Copies of this chain bind each other. A is one copy, B any other.
């Protein structure tokens, strides 16, 4: 199922399809077995206090979940959308923004893919954290839906 795309291919796809990701200077750092890591520089995403803007943090976390799901589903024709999200901003981000979306358990992914294949619709909860120097600064949870 899993497409073997390089970080630069994923990045080009996101920049091409979602222009704000280019404006935010989002980079795909890595997509390895259990996680997708997306980064963005503070310079393009700071707020009035010189720390990361909460809106950029929410957007980057939303994107990380979406991109992980798109990669895991491996169906380029799928319509993936976010249904709801919750974000907890626990510490300010003072440097590079680094969002980590950990792949859900295999059983969760299997159930999601089965529903998608059987009914043309799958729903899944994904968690994303934004971390700085081993501290979780932002904790995001999103419910995503894939529709064929």
**Which residues of chain A from 32 to 46 have a CB within 8 Å of any chain B CB?**
43-46
Asked if A18 and B53 make an inter-chain contact with CB atoms under 8 angstroms apart, the answer reads yes
Contacting chain B: which of A56-64, A100-108, A114-122?
A: A56-64
Instruction: State A62–B138 Cα separation when bound (angstroms).
Output: 14
Asked if A82 and B89 make an inter-chain contact with CB atoms under 8 angstroms apart, the answer reads yes
A135 adjacent to chain B (CB < 8 Å): no
Asked if A20 and B84 make an inter-chain contact with CB atoms under 8 angstroms apart, the answer reads no
CB-based nearest B residue for A85 = B87
When A24-B20, A45-B20, A48-B18 are in contact, do A82 and B54 touch as well, CB less than 8 Å?
yes
CB-based nearest B residue for A47 = B18
Return the CB mask of A79-92 against B: 1 if under 8 Å, else 0. Answer: 10111111111001
Nearest Cβ in chain B — how far from A148, in angstroms? Answer: 13
A49 adjacent to chain B (CB < 8 Å): yes
A17 adjacent to chain B (CB < 8 Å): yes
Nearest Cβ in chain B — how far from A50, in angstroms? Answer: 10
Provide the residues of chain B in CB contact with A23, threshold 8 Å: 20, 23-24, 44
Instruction: State A85–B85 Cα separation when bound (angstroms).
Output: 8
User: Which 5 A-B residue pairings sit nearest by Cβ, starting from the closest?
Assistant: A55-B59, A23-B23, A17-B48, A55-B62, A58-B58
By a beta-carbon cutoff of 8 Å, the part of chain A in contact with chain B is: 17-20, 23-24, 43-49, 53-56, 58-63, 66, 79, 81-89, 92
